[in-house]
Amino acid sequence: MSEDEARDERRVDDMLGTLRDIREHLRLGREVFFRDKDMQKVVAYDLLILGEAANKVSKRVQKANPGIPWTDLVEYRNDLIHEYQTLDLEGTWEFAQKTLPSLERRLRRTRIPRSKE
């Protein structure tokens, strides 16, 4: 495995770990998420990590896995960064509930193309 392939594999693993963390935080439910500012900050930070890791995955891997919304994840991260004073709680909750489970399934099937050495 090349160094680039190993780096992509680590980034996908980072994304999967971050998704597990988000799932764990949100298992307490919607009401707790909407009430607990610390949880909101932790989930927002995890979403930043998710988007940053997606941004660092090579274009080669992104092209090999078109079912993963790479650009959307990066844009979501950028929105969080640039709108840091307000977190859209409803949007974040919906994103976590509707997008992240299927993203996790797709990431588990991510194909890291091997270079011809």
Mean pLDDT of the chain: 92
- Residue 104 domain flag: yes
Looking at residue 112, its pLDDT comes to 84
As a whole number of Å, the end-to-end CA separation of the chain is: 9
pLDDT confidence tier of residue 16, bands split at 50, 70 and 90: very high
Q: What is the DSSP string of the chain?
A: --HHHHHHHHHHHHHHHHHHHHHHHHTT-HHHHHH-HHHHHHHHHHHHHHHHHHHHS-HHHHHH-TTS-HHHHHHHHHHHHHTTT---HHHHHHHHHHTHHHHHHHHHT---PPP--
The total number of structural domains that make up the chain:
1
Looking at residue 1, its pLDDT comes to 81
pLDDT confidence tier of residue 67, bands split at 50, 70 and 90: very high
- Residue 68 domain flag: yes
pLDDT confidence tier of residue 113, bands split at 50, 70 and 90: confident
Q: Give the range of the structural domain holding residue 16, as residue numbers without chain letter.
A: 3-108
- Residue 99 domain flag: yes
Does the pLDDT at position 76 exceed 70?
A: yes
- Residue 34 domain flag: yes
Looking at residue 116, its pLDDT comes to 64
Looking at residue 84, its pLDDT comes to 65
- Residue 113 domain flag: no
- Residue 114 domain flag: no
Does the pLDDT at position 85 exceed 90?
A: no
Does the pLDDT at position 70 exceed 90?
A: yes
Provide mean pLDDT across the span 51-73: 95
Looking at residue 93, its pLDDT comes to 95
- Residue 50 domain flag: yes
